[in-house]
A and B are shown apart, each in its own frame.
Chain A
Amino acid sequence: MIINHPILGPRDAQEFVYLGDANLINRPDGMTAGIEAFHDYLYNRDNPAGEHRELWYHEQGDRSWLVVTRNTVTHEILKVELARDVAKAQGRSK
């Protein structure tokens, strides 16, 4: 597989480590959210046959975490974003 890194261009997937659903970015606040919310966040995932947003880490590269939108059926990669940009766009800060 080839992942088109937003900064470095096309890179072989062997340089990356896969984590999972990009929804992991949406971590609840531990001081306000309860066990149920964290349970839902950590364990309940969609498993789509089709487009899936997922987190990949460029470990043997520039150490960027990426949000890769990938079709799980065809393996086509539709979009690659820096996870930091996605997190900020989703309102995450400190």
Chain B
Amino acid sequence: MANQWQALTALGNEMAEVVEIGPYRIAERFDVALASIAMRRGQDKAFAAAAKKVKVPLPDPARHETGSPFSAFWVAPDMWFVEADFATHEDIVAALKPAFGDAASITEQTDAWVRFDVTGERMAPLVERLTNLDLAVQPEGFASRTIIEHLGVYLVKHGANSLTLYGPRSSAQGLLHALEVTAKSVA
């Protein structure tokens, strides 16, 4: 079916965009499926068991955990965002629902977000002009929602020089613009 349905990235292109400015590389990611998964009340045991069975990590608050085929980060009490490879998990809800059944509320989030992976040496000056989070003291795997230029963004710290940002898809151009001008400012 896919050939009938030309997908466009959040930036409105057929291919994901990569921007390089000074030491920074800002790469749009278009190959990740995303779903929210929320535990239903009183279903703690069933929920945990199902997660274990299909290998969905359930990290602590403010944490991201990488796994295969699923990675996940905490977004709210009893709620996580689950990531998977888009090529194999385009219908990510259908992939998760059989295992969780009535233990979880699962919602597709893939296209609600634009994802940028930001890498580069000297990440600190870039980050501190974008977000108020004290990222320098946070460990790898830190994940949090934050505000970048008026936009609500999920930020995951993979390492000292590697971040993932999930911003609202409709404002993809605005978020990229903010990243670009800031990168130029500190490059």
Contacts and interface: CB of A to CB of B under 8 A. Distances in A.
A and B touch in the complex (CB under 8 A): yes
Interface of A: 7-8, 12, 14-15, 59-64, 82, 84
B61 interface: yes
B132 A12 contact: yes
B132 A62 contact: no
Given A8-B61, A8-B62, A14-B132, A62 B152 contact: no
Given A59-B152, A60-B147, A62-B77, 11 more contacts: A14-B132, A15-B145, A60-B145, A60-B146, A60-B152, A61-B144, A62-B74, A62-B76, A63-B76, A64-B77, A84-B77
A84 B152 CA distance: 23
A88 B165 CA distance: 35
Centre residue among B61, B76, B145, B146 by max chain A CB count within 10 A: B145
A35 B31 CA distance: 55
Contacts of B146: 15, 60
Nearest to B150: A60
Centre residue among A59, A60, A64, A82 by max chain B CB count within 10 A: A60
B147 A62 contact: no
Nearest to B151: A60
Tell me the dominant secondary structure on chain B's binding face.
Answer: strand
B26 interface: no
17 contacts: A7-B62, A8-B61, A8-B144, A12-B132, A14-B132, A14-B147, A15-B146, A59-B152, A60-B145, A60-B146, A60-B147, A60-B152, A62-B61, A62-B75, A62-B76, A64-B77, A82-B77
Interface in B61-94: 61-62, 74-77
A14 B148 CA distance: 12
A21 to B, nearest CB: 23
Interface of B: 61-62, 74-77, 132, 144-147, 152
A82 to B, nearest CB: 8
Nearest to A9: B62
A16 B85 CA distance: 33
A14 B75 CA distance: 18
Contacts of A61: 144-145
Contacts of B62: 7-8
Given A8-B62, A12-B132, A64 B76 contact: yes
Contacts of B75: 62
